[in-house]
Amino acid sequence: MPKLEASNDIIEKVSQLYKALGDPTRLKILTLLSQSEMNVSAIVTEIGLEQSAVSHQLKLLRNNHVVKSRKEGKIVYYSLDDQHVVDILGQTFQHIRHIDK
């Protein structure tokens, strides 16, 4: 197994990332976004929260570079930031399924 080495700054940033991922609502949003790009209204419909709550969660995820946004006219679409996010989520879900056996 490779050794993990990191500066205090990197450790703090990793901690913030895991805090952003450590909420069931945000994980539901990320799971949806792993399937396709979506706007806030579509996410609201899928998970049944108020638009303001979804927007708040998306802002937190965006600030932590987990999701990105693009604007088309007046509509803002969200997607996972990059392949690293897909990999982190995939590995995490795979790990949980493994330990739940």
Model pTM score: 0.90
Residue 76: C-alpha distances to residues 13, 14, 31, 43 (Å): 27, 27, 18, 12
Confidence at residue 1, expressed as pLDDT on a 0 to 100 scale: 77
26-82 pLDDT, tens digit each = 999 999 999 999 999 999 999 999 999 999 999 999 999 999 999 999 999 999 999
Question: Cα dihedral sign for 73, 57, 41, 50?
Answer: negative
Give the containing element (helix H, strand E) for 11. Answer: helix 8-21
Q: Which residue ranges make up each domain of the chain?
A: 9-99
At position 66, the amino acid (one-letter code) is V
User: Could you confirm whether domain 9-99 is CATH 1.10.10.10?
Assistant: yes
DSSP state of 69: E
